[in-house]
Chain A
Amino acid sequence: MADGERFNMEAAEAKVLVRDVNVFYGEKQALFDIDLDIGRNQVTSLIGPSGCGKSTFLRCMNRMNDVIDGCRVEGSIKVDGDEVLDAGIDPVQLRRRVGMVFQKPNPFPKSIYDNVAYGPRIHGLVSSQDDLDELVQTSLERAALWEEVKDRLHQPGTGLSGGQQQRLCIARAVAVRPDVILMDEPCSALDPIATARVEELIEELKKAYSIVIVTHSMQQAARVSQRTAFFHLGVLVEVGVTEQIFTAPRDERTQGYITGRFG
């Protein structure tokens, strides 16, 4: 994108720097020359019609696209200055720093406690059982779930309600102490009350983490994010301060999408 620079913020406050990213599924190109900065301790929301490449872009940042056969990513993504797309980077190490929450709550078939302890255990983050207990508790507290589950930590995570499950997944992501949390439509399977709770939680989490959230709800983007990026047909059309995107979009495609003319 020729005038990509105007989408970017001061490098000093950027947590993730994305430059010239192109993504291909086999022969088909899904993303074209994406330049985007993700701000530190900010919520950045990605909006756009279905199939525009938001989720693909999100999955580039923790290399989850590696799992998909025939998917190829080109360009540069730097998290705190470290290149992510470099072949030498171990995706396992990367994903510790860049956590992810999925569209559908996907708690493991384990107890609530083990769900949260899963990440710390595999990464050897804690040395004693007491430390682990504490980490599980702080993670669940961060996810605003502790009060609801503290008496049944050893019951299956799958027994929780949909909204609680999603907060459990957030607690699970928080427990490995990542720098960035990616959220792929985290509220699309939740009712309005659970959605409100998750949004409050995002508001709280941004104090400690940099958050990127994909959403189909423009109200949600407006409510939770400081910066908004609008994707259309694999192209990053416009990015800017959320208020500006929703009140004075520069591009007529953005204008068309947010006023509901297409998408």
Chain B
Amino acid sequence: MQIWALILILICLAAYGHVIGRRRAISFAAAKPALLHSLPFYHGAYLALWVVIPSLLAIALWLVAQGPIIESLIISGLNTDTQALSADRLSLVLNDIVNVASGDIPSREPTPEIAAAAQKFSELKKLSNLGMVVISLGLGIACLWWAKGKISAEFRARNQVERIFTIIMILASTIAILTTIGIVLSLLFEAWRFFLRIPLDDFLFGLQWSPQTAIRADQVGASGSFGAIPIFAGTLLITVIAMCVAVPLGLMSAIYMSEYASNRLRGVIKPLLEILAGVPTVVYGFFAALTVAPFFRGMGETVGLDVSSESALAAGVVMGIMIIPFVSSLSDDVMNAVPQTLRDGSFALGATKSETIRQVVLPAALPGVVGAVLLAVSRAIGETMIVVMAAGLAANLTANPFEAVTTVTVQIVTLLVGDQEFDSSKTLAAFALGLVLFFITLSLNVFALRIVRKYREKYD
């Protein structure tokens, strides 16, 4: 039986449980309505949950356990010399058996041994499936019967149901946390393998980034040095340029929108600005590479500066424009949330509009503004496409915005794009970069939270 059919049956059973739970509660209520502790709905929900949760758990457990159990049963049925094969070869044999059983094409002509094992595999699979159906449905019905017996006028069904939903919500939030932990662990694991080959201090403090490692011994230009300083410097440079564009422009448009513009004008400007955030980054990349970069180069030529056609400046400026809405929209919301009574208080003391904004509104909105700026920073650090297209791939260690630089995310992409072996230093370096990037953004967030908390203590 297909798993979805089984789940459908379980849902029907749960619906049935809900109905009889209600009925039973109502029958008690009809006798002594005032004595019913919970609404009939909760009695129904209680039964439905008792049907669904244990059987779903049983199905999940069964699905996890059946693979290894069937596998070990098949292996124990094989010839002793097949069993003596190395783990890799054995998994190949098992693969063949599964393929034969499911009618796919195996890697070679099945031997009688494999054919027999495949036959056995299909039988075991069928048996397991049947067992799962019987067990889960049986469990569902048993629980239904048992829980039905518990229903009485005094039974606290609401409290039980609410507790179950609390647990479900806790599980939901735990999944997000566990995923994060999983990501960190996988990063850590791969980065660890990288640091076994390249010393940590070479990576963190090396000034040379050239990740091409030699495939053949006689290859040239494949020195394979992994000093991450140039690419972190490139990231920093581009982020700083982007923030130099985004923070003043975004903040000033936010101030205009929240303090000066009429409601109608604000209703037009704000969505228009937010369109900027909706433009795909590839389009920004085109814009940076084809319009802004040549423009800067031309400007540089007229004033006698040597601007490369792929410059940090072009990428940074376009990125800054891209993140303006992050700064402006959030800051505008925060400033709008500053109570009007504070502005009135300031006006009543004879303060002008600009004095009020600078000395009352902005300080009160500061935690939110800092949050908006840091969100924009993390967006800038994580941005890849614009930099790939407009700033180049060359890992120059420079503070000159007119030269080509590269960023961490761009390097991760170039390290992993294409056919790569996943155990070379080159590909593993991507995980190390990712790990460091993760720690940078993490510390940025912690730092931001501390700033926000500090000012909140001061200003709320």
Contact = CB atoms under 8 A, between A and B. Distances in A.
Interface in B248-267: 262
Contacts of A156: 457-460
A62 B349 contact: no
Interface string A66-104: 010100000000000000000000011111100110101
Nearest to B363: A109
A94 B355 CA distance: 16
Given A102-B341, A106-B341, A109-B364, A158 B459 contact: yes
B349 A176 contact: yes
A123 B350 contact: yes
A169 B359 CA distance: 16
Contact of A102 (B344, B351, B360, B364): B344
B352 to A, nearest CB: 6
A106 B347 contact: no
B347 to A, nearest CB: 6
A49 interface: no
A92 B351 contact: yes
A158 B460 contact: yes
A64 B349 contact: no
A62 B364 contact: no
Contacts of A110: 363, 459
A173 B350 CA distance: 10
Max chain B C-beta neighbours (<10 A), residue from A67, A99, A106, A110: A106
A172 interface: yes
B344 to A, nearest CB: 6
Contacts of A169: 345
Contacts of B359: 108, 118, 122
A45 B352 CA distance: 29
B175 to A, nearest CB: 38
A176 B351 CA distance: 11
Interface string A160-171: 000000000100
A93 B350 contact: yes
A63 B349 CA distance: 12
A262 B344 CA distance: 31
The range of chain B's interface size is: 20 to 34
A81 B322 CA distance: 56
A64 B360 contact: no
Given A108-B342, A109-B460, A110-B363, A102 B348 contact: yes
A119 interface: yes
A104 B342 CA distance: 10
B339 A119 contact: no
Interface string A122-162: 11000000000000000000000000000000001010000
A169 B339 CA distance: 16
Given A108-B342, A118-B359, A172 B349 contact: yes
Contacts of B349: 95-96, 99, 118-119, 122, 172-173, 176
Nearest to B365: A109
A17 B66 CA distance: 93
Contact of A64 (B339, B347, B355): B347
B459 A64 contact: no
Nearest to B263: A69
Interface string A217-229: 0000000000000
A158 to B, nearest CB: 6
A102 B349 CA distance: 12
Contact of B350 (A102, A108, A122): A122
Max chain A C-beta neighbours (<10 A), residue from B339, B359, B457: B359
Contact of B348 (A93, A100, A104): A100
A33 B383 CA distance: 64
Contacts of A118: 346, 349, 351, 359
Interface in B332-368: 339, 341-352, 355, 359-360, 363-364
B302 to A, nearest CB: 45
Contacts of A92: 350-352
Interface string B410-434: 0000000000000000000000000
A176 B355 CA distance: 15
Contact of A106 (B344, B351, B363, B458): B344
B344 A67 contact: yes
Contacts of A106: 339, 341-342, 344-345
A62 B348 contact: yes
A177 to B, nearest CB: 11
Nearest to B262: A69
Given A109-B363, A156-B459, A158-B460, A122 B345 contact: no
Interface of B: 262, 339, 341-352, 355, 359-360, 363-364, 457-460
24 contacts: A64-B348, A67-B343, A92-B351, A95-B349, A95-B350, A96-B350, A102-B345, A102-B348, A106-B341, A106-B342, A106-B344, A106-B345, A107-B345, A108-B345, A108-B360, A108-B363, A109-B460, A119-B349, A122-B349, A122-B352, A156-B458, A156-B459, A173-B348, A176-B349
Interface of A: 62, 64, 67, 69, 91-96, 99-100, 102, 104, 106-110, 118-119, 122-123, 156, 158, 169, 172-173, 176
Given A95-B347, A107-B345, A176-B349, 20 more contacts: A62-B348, A64-B344, A95-B349, A100-B348, A104-B341, A106-B341, A106-B344, A108-B342, A108-B345, A108-B346, A108-B360, A108-B363, A109-B342, A110-B459, A119-B349, A122-B352, A156-B457, A156-B460, A158-B459, A173-B348
